[in-house]
Structure 1
Amino acid sequence: MRRRSLLIAVPAGLATLAACGDDKSDSSKASDSASPSASPSGSSAPPPKIVDGPLPAITAGTKTGEKPTVAKGSGDPSKQLAVKTVVAGSGTTIAENDYIQAHYLGQIWDTAKVFDNSYDRKSPLIIQLAAGSIIDGWRYALAGKKTGSRVEFSVPPTWGYGSQGQPQAGIKGTDTLVFVVDVEKTFGGSSSAEGTDVAQDDAGLPKVGTNTDGKAPSIDVPEADAPTKLVANYVIEGDGDKVAAEDTVLVQYKGVLWDTGKEFDSTYSRKALTSFSLQQVVKGWAQGLTGKKVGSRVLITIPPKLGYGDSPPAGSGIKKDSTLVFSVDILAKM
């Protein structure tokens, strides 16, 4: 199971996907490392001024994707946010509230003590650049940068962990932190599946649009009886890693009712991606996405016994014993 970083806040579950009557406890686990998760108390500080330095030198591992070695800070760090683009990428521009996939190293200015890095784990961090999800220093330093970039920045306590610090990582409330971040990908409201279209030749099943322009795909439900068993078919097959039952996934999705074809929930309508653990959603989602590849679009048709049965979420527009139809783009495993 992928090791989670302390810098990550637990994502909120969606009311229309959360499992009903499930007595499982929250499956998210506290990490045994420190990384850029939101400060426990949150932040109400005004935006920092972005300055050029000072910043310590990167003395080894100078290429993007290599684990960097960073010198000890010299003199007093800036009381603002010092940011330097070490390598300028040419990819998509990162916006606040986007999710990013990145490798990073974090250390303390005064001592050069490395308190966390993803390079040794060989697993990049995927996290949303949003208030409450990550420390403010990351949000302000990375917004406006492009994928493919290496960015170095220093974060004073005001936009880091505040006066309480992060004791389990050895970070005091007076420590300025230094990060080197290699941004590999960004995911926003217009992100879509990427892969090969798969034939949809069963006339008894809904047909899902294959557009990848970030707009919601069409879902055409046939005039036929709903299947009594779970259906989980590729519409677009990606080439990423397979999703495991315990994974947390980042997705775009749209849900409609079999009986009427009416949409009841959609990330496209909200213009915001969502992430969740497959252990915290209805069984149809968990079973339907397990084993599917990242980058894919999947048609999931969920019979009532694997959905909400006779207890649909209040205000969802879902009636008792409804069959649900989803188009799900699996953008990443978190």
Structure 2
Amino acid sequence: MRIRPLAALSVAALSAVLLAGCAGGTPDATPTPSGTGAGADLCSVAAPSGDVSESVTVSGEVGAEASAEFESPLEVASAERTVIVEGDGDAIEEGSLVNYAATIFDASTGEVLEASGYDSEIPPAPVTVGSGADQFFGCATVGSRIVMAVPATEQAPALVWVLDVLGIAPTAAWGEPQEPVEGMPEVELAEDGTPSVTIPDADAPTELEVAVLKEGDGEVVAEGDTTTLQYYGVDWETGETFDDSWSKGAPISLPGNTYVPGFVEALVGQPVGSQVLVVIPPAQAYGEAGESDHELAGKTLVFVIDILSTQHADAAAE
């Protein structure tokens, strides 16, 4: 059985216990990532080790589906976390995109409920540390195996997670650079991948225009996917940035890609690893002036979008 992405599953599993303060976006708005804040001490944010998490005996290699033995029913009063294998890779930092695998057990019966990430068939989306997963991952190193005991909520029973930290994913598009498209805004990238945009001295287009700046090599985004991405938004008329993920320290993701229509159209059909430039007229953004009270109504919007991962709707629902 496949698991939903960790951020989504942990909302149901942990409720307010671990995800207090994790904000979501509205269906028609550009989303805002949330986190522990710049300079947060991820080691101290991680859930503490305790008798419950330390009582779980795990067998199997890191990166392979785990077996766990514990006395059931296992009483889990509060979240506990024990690192049972210390990896020798890079340490997770605030804003890191973490690739992981997990086996999840019902704490009351020992039954395996879900497992994912041990093959590439339907890999879970990487999780941004700083988006509610901090107490799971903390400052663990790549190659680590973590046992996490999670108390029951109204949405889920008490759980035991065996979580493998497989790697840290890129936070910027890595695809093959493409030739610029004449008439489109000019994009320059800083060393960390942060874009800047220069608007051409011309009238704004009246139709949606999309140009691929980097051609990725990953899974293709489909309708209804949940896509992890970086974005940088500019007002065509003023050339000013009105919103971006880069300054907030983390990529973003909204279940089902519930962004404005032109933004979604620019994503669908693009492979992961791509960077896409899209010019969105008002009708496919926030509506014409006078038709909406949104501050961006009547505006032609320009977005540079880095597509970092995607989770198909059918896989996320399993």
Q: TM-score, normalization: structure 2?
A: 0.73
3-state secondary structure, aligned to 1:7: helix
Conserved? CA contact 1:54–1:77, under 8 Å = no
What is the CA–CA distance in structure 1 between the aligned matches of 2:46 and 2:301, rounded to whole Å? Answer: 43
Structure 2: 5+ residue stretches without partners:
13-22, 32-44, 312-318
How many angstroms does 1:306 deviate by?
A: 1.4
Q: In structure 2, do the counterparts of structure 1 residues 283 and 118 end up closer, same or farther at CA, with 3 Å as the change threshold?
A: same
CA distance in 2, matches of 1:186, 1:314: 41
* 8 Å Cα contact 1:243-1:333 kept in structure 2: yes
Deviations for 1:275-302, whole angstroms, at most 9, x for unmatched residues?
1245522111111111111121110111
* CA offset digits 1:23-49 (Å, max 9, x no partner): xxxxxxxxxxxxxxxxxxxxxxx9753
**Length, aligned pairs only:** 280
Give distance in 1, aligned partners of 2:56 and 2:109.
Answer: 12
Aligned twin of 2:15: none
Query: Normalised by the size of structure 1, how large is the TM-score?
Result: 0.70
Q: Which has the higher contact order (CA 8 A, sep 6+)?
A: 2
1:19-98 maps to which residues of 2 (within 5 A)? 48-51=47-50, 54-59=54-59, 62-73=60-71, 81-86=80-85, 88-91=87-90, 93-95=91-93, 98=96
1:209 is matched with: 188
Alpha-carbon deviations, 1:192-231, whole Å to 9, x = none? Answer: 11122111141x11011244514x2111111012222211
What is the RMSD of the two structures over their aligned residues, measured on CA atoms? 3.5
1:254-279, Cα deviation, whole Å (9 max, x unpaired):
11111221111111233332212455
Aligned equivalent of 2:208: 230
Change (3 A) 1:86 1:187: same
CA distance in 1 between counterparts of 2:3 and 2:148 reads 25
Residue matched to 1:145? 140
With over 3 angstroms needed to count, the CA separation of the structure-2 counterparts of 1:314 and 1:142, relative to structure 1, is same
Structure 1 residues 82 and 307: alpha-carbon distance in aligned structure 2, compared to 1, 3 A threshold: closer
* Unaligned ranges ≥5, structure 1: 20-45
Please state how far the C-alpha of 1:97 moved relative to its aligned partner: 6.1
Structure 1 residues 293 and 125, CA gap change in structure 2 (3 angstroms): closer
Asked if the contact 1:15–1:313 (Cα under 8 Å) also holds between the matched residues in 2, the reply is no
Residue equivalent to 1:25? none
Whichever residue aligns with residue 282 of structure 1, its letter is V
C-alpha deviation, 1:165, in angstroms: 5.6
Task: Kindly provide the CA deviation profile for residues 101-154 of structure 1, in whole angstroms up to 9, marking residues without a partner as x.
Answer: 3210111456422122225884325444457x45xxxx334110123x232314
Q: CA 1:221–1:18 in structure 2 vs 1: closer, same or farther (change >3 Å)? A: closer
The structure-2 alpha-carbon separation of the partners of 1:270 and 1:54, relative to structure 1 and needing over 3 Å to count, comes to: closer
The alignment partner of 1:90 has SS state of: coil
Deviations 1:61-110 (A, max 9, x none): x233221222234998897724124251413x224565533210111456
Check conservation: 1:241, 1:294, Cα contact below 8 A.
Answer: yes
Query: 2:9 corresponds to which residue?
Result: 7
Shift of 1:237: 1.8
Match of 1:200 among 180, 185, 193: 180
Contact 2:126 2:169 in 1 (8 A): no
Q: Which residue of 1 aligns with 2:233?
A: 255
Higher helix share: 2
Identity level (%): 28
Trace 1:104-119 onto structure 2 (pairs within 5 A).
Answer: 104-109=102-107, 111-119=109-117
CA distance 1:325–1:166, shift in 2 (3 Å): closer
8 Å CA contact 2:102–2:164 kept in 1: the answer is yes
Q: How far apart, in 2, do the equivalents of 1:249 and 1:108 lie?
A: 29
